Amino acid sequence: MPRGWYLAQGLFPLGYSSSDDEEGPCELPNGRLVCGPHGFVVCGKCCTDYSFMDEVLGEDDEDLEDDEDMEDDEDLEDDEDLKDEEDLEIDIDSLPIFTPSSPRSIREKVRGTGLVFPSKFKPPVSSQPPLEVFSGRRRWINAIRCTLPNDDGVLLIMTDGACLNNGQANPKAGWAFVQGVNAEGRPSPVGARLEQRGPWGDAGNQTSNRAELRAVLAALRYRHWPGEFFHTIVFATDSEYVVEGATQWARTWVQNDWRTRGYGHVKNRDLWELLLGECERFQGFGLAVQFWKIPREWNTFADEWAKKAAAMQHAPDEWGEVPGVASTL
């Protein structure tokens, strides 16, 4: 639509977005984001959900239901075969999943205090997708890591989260991350269903935003990355919630004792605290964490496996750890 249409509606085009529409998100005069073509905070057609801005703006809109319950799936298309997980053709046995480890193999989980925050990654060539920017290949045991060609100490990990049946009686969320490539050059994924409880036993809803965060945490705790001689991990994700939350909004949340500007509780606080705790822990080993917001079409592989994970029947009740953690202790 022409720019004049947006201005007439009091909207301001923000440029590129990972949504399926060409216009991307637009900003209302009050700071709220809506989808460009339709003007909705939660738009099923565009597969976008900007309701997380409630936490940034501190607004409680009585006309909107809790986004934890009504959050549209950012990652599901309109096709009917994707609305019902029974129609998905999935080889469940081929998905590398994890199960809860023994207590001896689980590293201590620490709540972050705000001493360290992630930063944003600025690609040297903005028009290149992640696997082209990170064209370097470094072998570690039986894995091949993707690194910057001029600095093999910078590691690429691609993450995504998905949720089937959002806003319905039985939402099912899953996550996945791509840790590198195999010998044939194909991306190597790890994924699982989102647990019913968080790292400290807090109950958590099955939502795509929570699954997006869970993918990052699973990847951070998958290996002792400094032991592979990395000094930086770059997480490539199409989730604005994760990128802006980790690099910008979390600073304000910590200062306000995890309250929004409207004095509401920050959603998914347990996962945000663990993310900051992981950043603090890794800084002690000289490793930094960065986030790169990429278009959805550059994240199709992690997206595919996150949906496969979400389609699994059983969601673990308790928080689990990735088996790879045991080999690093």
Task: Report pLDDT for 186.
Answer: 86
What residue ranges do the domains of the chain occupy?
Answer: 3-81, 90-328
Distance CA 75, CA 113 (A): 32
Residue range 171-222, pLDDT digits in tens = 999 999 999 998 888 888 999 999 999 999 999 999 999 999 999 999 999 9
Residues of the chain with pLDDT under 50: 1-23, 59-106, 325-329
Distance CA 22, CA 37 (A): 9
In terms of C-beta density within 10 A (0-12 exposed, 13-18 middle, 19 or more buried), how is residue 301 classed?
A: middle
Distance CA 256, CA 261 (A): 8
Q: Which residues contact 158 (CB under 8 A, 6 or more apart)?
A: 130, 177, 178, 187, 235, 236, 237, 299, 301, 302
- Residue 118 and residue 281 in contact, taking contact as beta carbons nearer than 8 Å: no
Task: Report pLDDT for 326.
Answer: 31
Cβ-count burial 221-243 (b if 16+ within 10 Å, e if not)? bbbbbbebebebbbbbbbbbbbb
Instruction: Find the distance separating the first CA and the last CA of the chain, reported in whole Å.
Output: 55
Residue range 134-171, pLDDT digits in tens = 999 999 877 899 999 999 999 999 999 999 987 778 89
Task: Report pLDDT for 103.
Answer: 34
Classified by CATH at the fold level, domain 90-328 comes out as Nucleotidyltransferase; domain 5 (3.30.420)
Q: Which two tokens stand for residue 217?
A: 């945490």
Task: Report pLDDT for 262.
Answer: 81
Task: Report pLDDT for 261.
Answer: 83
